[in-house]
Chains A and B, each alone.
Chain A
């Protein structure tokens, strides 16, 4: 085999943020024509390192070589001029603008007049060449997430990117879309492009990468490991620094009475368009019902309708024996209904209030916390002390504002508040999003414990692995309708993927 050429090299990169060293003398190299995975947990410094390479951040120390020549990148424009383009996790696309407008945004040519039909032709030709089909006239908001990602890739190719950095590109895709993306990536490496693939998902890394570099806490723990012949367990150990159990430990569910019955539920989204169409489902005590689906197919509206944050336009909801409707006193329901909202920091907690205060948000109005109009400070402290121990919340003091806590600990505060009184039903939305492996494990354990304590749990998540390992039953939402329902045990990920993409479950 001939000596492979490095498309880019990074030597001894140091990048500090206030309080943390995000990259501590990191070396990285990507060869021409390879897919190089950059693996690591959240906060390991992967995105930071690639933002340095893409010209978004200036490193404090270290050097970058492009095709063997030393370069200094002051801005993303200089990076792209050297052929380095990055597709961010949050797409940098302007939603009301067309595909073509997004692709030419920020270029120097043409300078003043935009001949859009000419640009559209160029974009169409480029998308044909790379097999990235997308209508150049479509507005971004009309496109699926997978299509938007293609626009991002096209945008970089249009600018002549040779090295393409993809930050967690599969997080938002269905399994089928992931396959298409991988196919495209392989095709691109054959044309001499290099791909840096940032991920924390081991399966994907093993599936797509030629070589892997692993980061942990800002340092390289393994460099240029060939993906072939490396196991998931080995990679996980390099990433986390200890052995990881992939299976969640759980007994078989013992479903009891129906705690939640939903019939013919319809609700609108924020744009007043129908988001839920005639959804009927049941959750029994002591089971976890997982809701799968690509983001934006009604999951958020379902969770909000069930927790009283959104008024349904039609349908019936019953919690135990209580009808949930416009007469429901949601505050009084707090003990029976637990909600782990999608956005921990905004809906799940009050950032400026202390841990102790956040822990009483659902019981501040009744004994022992309150006796009428005043709040009993010592009861608040006792409550907090007890829950901090019971739920292993790592906080300096119970008076610390929750905005100072890590994501995992904040989630434990919310779980402690919501579950310590044995609710009938828990609605958990993306409960482990953004958490590291350790925190994810403990949240999973808490959910299973809660299930075994006879709570019915509706788990909404975009992480199929999480849904498959935690749930007892699965429901797939597509465009606000239930596209399919099945037991989680032995469920086929391919079938689920098809349902998430809208295929009917008749096969």
Chain B
């Protein structure tokens, strides 16, 4: 292998990591907003699935990828609205509701998505970049959007009034309430926003990063996003690094099938490939074990009111 080929391979891997990390980034940042407003949403996986299925269906009928992405956002948001209703207005347990919403989302996408399994898929528009030559324009656009979106999300959280309101509602809702901030409305808004971003992540998968619809398309990515929120310590900027890192973990087994890499090629060593397929999930389990320790969560900066329904005038938060 020549030096140029090696560089090209490395760049391909990096590009692949950014592409496959992008849907994860959207879902993670969406969940960061939701959790910083005080609502844990374990329904991310369901919202991503619904987003992926509805996005694909809309593209299939109209042929418009952008419209598909918007549809994915809309349906993700709709499912999140259900979660918001159950947890904020009806004050049910956020974990139970999140799990139920995931079941609902995966069931709905499985039934309604049946006609689209194995259908034709959106064709990427090739463009030529230096060194790595051909990439899909849609994938490049996705990466650029993610790279702009995350810093904007950080700025919104830390340097604007709505961001301050959002953080306050998740830390100490009765203080926010006493100063006239509508805790319920704020939480609704960001739970729905989180759902929309998850839906977008799902639609980006079925339309751009990995085109096509199959049952269970997101293969647990929503759960990884939930774990990444802890890993990112509820900070959108750290969310960028951890999402791309997991993108890399997901991508590596594919890239390493290249038989030109004699030692580490998974083509010659199937067990290594399987092991690498497991990596993102193993890492997720590891993060969740760390994150399940109350003391560790506090040190990482978990929002103080996370998981606690707000009732005006009640003891506690």
The answer to whether A and B interact is yes
Contact A105:B160 (CB < 8 A) given known A88-B178, A92-B174: no
Q: Are B180 and A77 in contact (CB under 8 A)?
A: yes
Are B175 and A113 interface neighbours, CB within 8 A? no
Tell me the chain A residues, 67-113 only, with Cβ under 8 Å from chain B: 75-77, 88, 91-97, 101, 104-107, 110-113
Cβ contact within 8 Å between B178 and A114:
no
Q: Tell me whether A94 and B178 are in contact (CB under 8 A).
A: no
A93 to B168, CA, bound (A): 9
CB B277 to nearest CB in A, in angstroms, measures 37
Cα of A137 to Cα of B6 in the assembled complex, Å: 49
A68 → chain B, closest Cβ, in Å? 26
The answer to the question of A118 belonging to the interface, with a C-beta cut-off of 8 Å to chain B, is: no
The answer to the question of A56 belonging to the interface, with a C-beta cut-off of 8 Å to chain B, is yes
Task: Name the distance in Å between B293's Cβ and chain A's nearest Cβ.
Answer: 11
Neighbouring A residues of B209 by C-beta, 8 Å? none
CB distance from B103 to the nearest CB of A (A): 32
In the assembled complex, the CB of A283 is this many whole angstroms from the nearest CB of chain B, namely 31
Q: Does B295 contact A (CB under 8 A)?
A: yes
Distance in Å: Cβ of B184 to nearest Cβ of chain A = 14
The answer, among A95, A104, A110, for a CB contact under 8 Å with B172, is A95
Which residue in A95, A114, A272 is a CB contact (below 8 Å) of B295?
A272
Cβ of B287 within 8 Å of any chain A Cβ, yes or no, is: no
Contact check, B301 vs A96: say whether CB atoms are below 8 A apart. yes
- Nearest chain B CB to A309's CB is how many angstroms away? 15
Size bin of chain A's contact surface: 20 to 34
Chain A residues with Cβ below 8 Å from B164 are 97, 101, 104-105, 114
B145 CB to closest chain A CB (Å) equals 22
Q: Which of A91, A92, A105, A110 is within 8 Å of B165, CB to CB? A: A105
Taking a contact as CB atoms closer than 8 A, the residue among B165, B175, B295, B298 that contacts A93 in the complex is B175
Task: Please tell me if B176 contacts chain A, counting CB pairs below 8 Å.
Answer: yes
Q: How far is the CB of A169 from chain B (nearest CB, A)?
A: 16
Interface-central residue, B180, B298, B304, by most chain A CB under 10 Å: B180
Tell whether, in the assembled complex, residue B172 and residue A112 are in contact, meaning their CB atoms are under 8 Å apart: no
B181 at the interface (CB under 8 A from A): yes
Task: Please tell me if the beta carbons of B178 and A76 are within 8 angstroms of each other in the complex.
Answer: yes
Most buried by A among B164, B165, B171, B301: B164
Chain B residue contacts of A326, Cβ below 8 A: none
- Name the residue in B165, B167, B178 with the highest tally of chain A Cβ atoms < 10 Å from its Cβ: B178
CB distance from A148 to the nearest CB of B (A): 12
Q: Are B304 and A105 in contact (CB under 8 A)?
A: no
Evaluate whether A114 and B160 lie within 8 angstroms (CB atoms) in the complex, with A75-B180, A94-B168 already known.
yes
Q: Give chain B residues whose Cβ lies under 8 Å from the Cβ of A386.
A: none
B159 touches A94 (CB 8 A): no
Tally the A-B contacts, defined by beta carbons under 8 Å: 69
Q: Which B residues are in CB contact (< 8 Å) with A116?
A: 159
User: Which residue on chain B has the smallest CB distance to residue A345?
Assistant: B315
A92 and B178 within 8 A (CB) = yes
Q: Which residues in B have their C-beta under 8 angstroms from that of A321?
A: none
The residues in B between 156 and 200 inclusive whose CB is less than 8 angstroms from any CB of A are 159-162, 164-165, 167-168, 171-172, 174-176, 178-181
Does A506 have its Cβ within 8 Å of any Cβ on chain B?
no
Cβ contacts under 8 Å, B304 to chain A: 95-96
| Residue among B162, B167, B168, B179 making CB contact with A76, cutoff 8 Å | B179
By DSSP majority rule, is chain A's interface helix, strand, loop, or mixed? loop
Q: Which residues of A contact B171 (CB under 8 A)?
A: 94-97
- B299 at interface by CB-CB < 8 Å: yes
The number of chain B residues with a CB under 8 A from chain A is 22
Bound Cα distance A92, B171 (Å)? 11
State whether the Cβ of A271 lies closer than 8 Å to any Cβ in chain B: yes
How long is the Cα–Cα vector from A125 to B260 in the complex, in angstroms? 68
Q: Is the CB of A271 within 8 A of B172?
A: no
Residues of A within 8 A of B295 (CB): 270-272
- Given contacts A77-B180, A97-B167, A105-B168, A110 and B161 within 8 Å (CB-CB): yes
With known contacts A56-B178, A94-B167, A97-B171, A112–B160 Cβ distance under 8 A: yes
The answer to whether A92 and B179 have CB atoms under 8 Å apart is yes
| B296-316 vs A, Cβ < 8 Å mask (1 yes, 0 no) | 001101001000000000000
* Alpha-carbon gap, A88 to B177, bound state (A): 13
Q: How far is the CB of A92 from chain B (nearest CB, A)?
A: 4
Q: Which residues of A contact B178 (CB under 8 A)?
A: 56, 76, 88, 92
**Contact indicator A270/B168 (Cβ below 8 Å):** no
Cα A107 to Cα B176 with chains together (Å):
11
A106 contacts B162, CB within 8 Å? no
**A433 smallest CB distance to B (angstroms):** 15
CA separation between A463 and B167, bound complex, in Å?
35
Distance of A93 Cα from B179 Cα, bound (Å): 10
**Which residue among A77, A104, A106 has the maximum number of chain B CB atoms within 10 Å of its CB?**
A106
* A104 contact set on B, CB distance < 8 A: 161, 164
Cβ contacts under 8 Å, B180 to chain A:
75-77, 106
A97 partner residues in chain B, CB cutoff 8 A: 164, 167-168, 171
Docked Cα-Cα span, A77 to B295, in Å, equals 36
Cβ of B38 to closest chain A Cβ, rounded Å: 12
- List 13 additional A-B contacts (Cβ < 8 Å) besides A92-B175, A93-B175, A105-B176: A76-B178, A77-B180, A88-B178, A94-B172, A94-B175, A94-B176, A97-B168, A104-B161, A105-B164, A105-B181, A111-B161, A112-B161, A114-B164
Q: List 22 A-B contacts (CB under 8 A).
A: A75-B180, A76-B178, A76-B179, A88-B178, A92-B174, A92-B175, A94-B168, A94-B171, A94-B172, A95-B304, A96-B171, A97-B164, A101-B164, A104-B161, A105-B175, A106-B179, A106-B181, A112-B161, A114-B161, A116-B159, A270-B295, A271-B295
- Enumerate chain A interface residues (CB-CB to B < 8 A): 56, 75-77, 88, 91-97, 101, 104-107, 110-114, 116, 270-272
Q: Which 8 A-B pairs have the closest CB atoms?
A: A106-B179, A92-B175, A77-B180, A94-B172, A94-B171, A92-B178, A106-B180, A94-B168
